């Protein structure tokens, strides 16, 4: 997968957007932002990142999933993708002696 596509599904909100679009319906970003109680610029920013990766088409504040987006959605749903360990936290045993 190209780097841009990998970056596109790295953020949880982008995966949420793909989930919302997966059924093939068009999504009005203002309505979606209001339903999630998120600022519209935040939702728009992440949708634009998906559009840049070719995952969605975006026109006049309305998003629609593309074939590439459907593939990214399938990848984002894989169990090994969802359960990646958090690299910011240590993975080793930190028991005190």
Angle formed at CA 12 by CA 32 and CA 3, multiple of 5 degrees: 115
- pLDDT digits 0-9 by tens, 19-38: 999 999 999 999 999 999 99
Cα 75 from Cα 41, distance rounded (Å) = 26
Taking the model in full, what pTM does it have?
0.76
CATH 3.40.50.300 fits 3-80, yes or no: no
> What band does 80 get if pLDDT is binned at 50, 70 and 90?
low
**90 in helix, strand or coil?**
coil
- pLDDT digits 0-9 by tens, 43-54: 999 999 999 999
Per domain, the residue ranges of the chain are 3-80
Phi, psi dihedral angles at 93 (to 5 degrees): -80, 120
Q: Which range has the worst mean pLDDT, 3-7, 16-20, 46-50, 55-59?
A: 3-7
């Amino acid at each position: 997968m190209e780097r841009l596509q990998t970056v596109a599904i790295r953020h949880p909100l982008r995966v949420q957007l793909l989930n919302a679009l997966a059924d093939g319906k068009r999504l009005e970003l203002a309505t979606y932002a209001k339903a999630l109680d998120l600022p519209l610029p935040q939702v728009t920013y992440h949708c634009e990142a998906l559009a840049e990766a070719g995952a969605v088409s975006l026109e006049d504040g309305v998003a629609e999933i593309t074939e590439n987006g459907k593939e990214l959605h399938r990848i984002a749903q894989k169990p090994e993708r969802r359960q990646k360990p958090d690299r910011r936290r240590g993975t080793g045993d930190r028991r005190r002696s």
